[in-house]
Amino acid sequence: MKKRLLTVLSLVLAFSLVLTACGGGDSAEGNKTPDSGQTDSGKETTGEGELVTEGVIPAPDASLNPEAAVNRKDTAILGITDPSGIFNPLYAESTYDVYLVESIFAQLLTINKDGTFSPFMADYKVSDDNKTFTFTLKDAKFSDGKPVTAEDVAFTITALYDKDYDGPSDVMQYAPLVGAKEYKEGKATSIAGIKVIDPKTIEFTNTEVKVLALNVFGGTGILPKHVYGAAYKQGNMSGMKDLFAKPVGAGAYKLEKYLPGQEVRLVANENYFMGAPKIKNLIYKTTTEETRMQLLQTGETDFDDPSVSKDQMEEIKNIGFLDSVLNPTNGYGYIAFNNKDPKFADKKVRQALTFGLDRKQIVDTVYQGYADVVNIPQSKVSWAYTDEVEKYEFNLDKAKTLLDEAGWKVGADGIREKDGKKFKINFSATTPNVVNEAIIPIAQKNYKDLGIEFVADQMDFNAMLDKYNKGNYDMLFLAAGLTPDPQDSEGTFRTGGSQNKTGYSNPKVDELLKKSGSTLDVEERKGIFKEIYQQINEDLPMMFVYQRRDLFTINHRIQGFDISPYRRFTNDLATIQIQ
Interacting residues with other proteins (CB under 8 A): 3, 6-7, 9-11, 13-15, 17-18, 21, 24-25, 28, 75, 77, 82, 84-86, 91, 164, 166, 168, 170, 172-173, 241, 244, 259-263, 265, 281, 283, 285-291, 294-295, 297-298, 300-301, 460-463, 465-467, 469, 480-481, 488, 491, 498-499
Query: What's the rounded Cα separation, in Å, for the pair 364 and 134?
Result: 48
Q: Residue 387: helix, strand or coil by DSSP?
A: coil
Least Å distance, CB 402 to other proteins, is 31
Q: For other proteins, which is the closer residue by CB, 400 or 501?
A: 501
Query: What's the rounded Cα separation, in Å, for the pair 165 and 359?
Result: 42
Query: What's the rounded Cα separation, in Å, for the pair 387 and 493?
Result: 19
User: Which residues face 478 on adjacent strands?
Assistant: 334
Q: For other proteins, which is the closer residue by CB, 82 or 485?
A: 82
Least Å distance, CB 41 to other proteins, is 23
Q: For other proteins, which is the closer residue by CB, 53 or 103?
A: 103
Q: For other proteins, which is the closer residue by CB, 80 or 140?
A: 80
Q: Are 88 and 102 in contact (CB under 8 A)?
A: no
Least Å distance, CB 463 to other proteins, is 4
Q: For other proteins, which is the closer residue by CB, 288 or 495?
A: 288
Q: For other proteins, which is the closer residue by CB, 458 or 499?
A: 499
Q: For other proteins, which is the closer residue by CB, 166 or 538?
A: 166
Query: What's the rounded Cα separation, in Å, for the pair 35 and 321?
Result: 13
Least Å distance, CB 431 to other proteins, is 13
Query: What's the rounded Cα separation, in Å, for the pair 548 and 373?
Result: 9
- Exposed, middle or buried, 105 (CB in 10 Å: 0-12/13-18/19+)? buried
Query: What's the rounded Cα separation, in Å, for the pair 86 and 164?
Result: 17
Least Å distance, CB 103 to other proteins, is 16
Least Å distance, CB 220 to other proteins, is 15
DSSP state of 485: S
Q: For other proteins, which is the closer residue by CB, 299 or 451?
A: 299
Least Å distance, CB 69 to other proteins, is 12
Look at the alpha carbons of 140, 143, 145, 146 in this order and tell me if their dihedral is positive or negative: negative
Query: What's the rounded Cα separation, in Å, for the pair 220 and 194?
Result: 15
Q: Are 269 and 254 in contact (CB under 8 A)?
A: yes
Least Å distance, CB 388 to other proteins, is 29
Least Å distance, CB 68 to other proteins, is 9
Q: For other proteins, which is the closer residue by CB, 127 or 173?
A: 173
Alpha helices in 139-269 (DSSP H): 150-160, 171-174, 180-184, 213-219, 225-228, 238-242
Query: What's the rounded Cα separation, in Å, for the pair 578 and 250?
Result: 23
Q: For other proteins, which is the closer residue by CB, 44 or 311?
A: 311
Q: Tell me the pairing of strands 331-337 and 542-555.
A: antiparallel
Least Å distance, CB 83 to other proteins, is 10
Those residues whose C-beta lies under 8 Å from the C-beta of residue 137, and which sit 6 or more positions away, are 108, 121, 122, 148, 149, 150, 153, 199, 200, 201, 202
- Exposed, middle or buried, 27 (CB in 10 Å: 0-12/13-18/19+)? exposed
Instruction: Pick the closest to residue 121 from 264, 16, 224 (CA basis).
Output: 224
Instruction: Pick the closest to residue 106 from 224, 201, 199 (CA basis).
Output: 224
Q: For other proteins, which is the closer residue by CB, 21 or 412?
A: 21
Containing H/E element for 533? Answer: helix 522-539
Least Å distance, CB 151 to other proteins, is 25
Give how far Cα 480 sits from Cα of 266, 333, 548, Å.
32, 6, 12
Q: Residue 139: helix, strand or coil by DSSP?
A: coil
Least Å distance, CB 290 to other proteins, is 5
Q: For other proteins, which is the closer residue by CB, 14 or 276?
A: 14
Those residues whose C-beta lies under 8 Å from the C-beta of residue 546, and which sit 6 or more positions away, are 332, 333, 359, 362, 363, 366, 367, 371, 372, 373, 374
Q: For other proteins, which is the closer residue by CB, 301 or 553?
A: 301
Least Å distance, CB 52 to other proteins, is 26
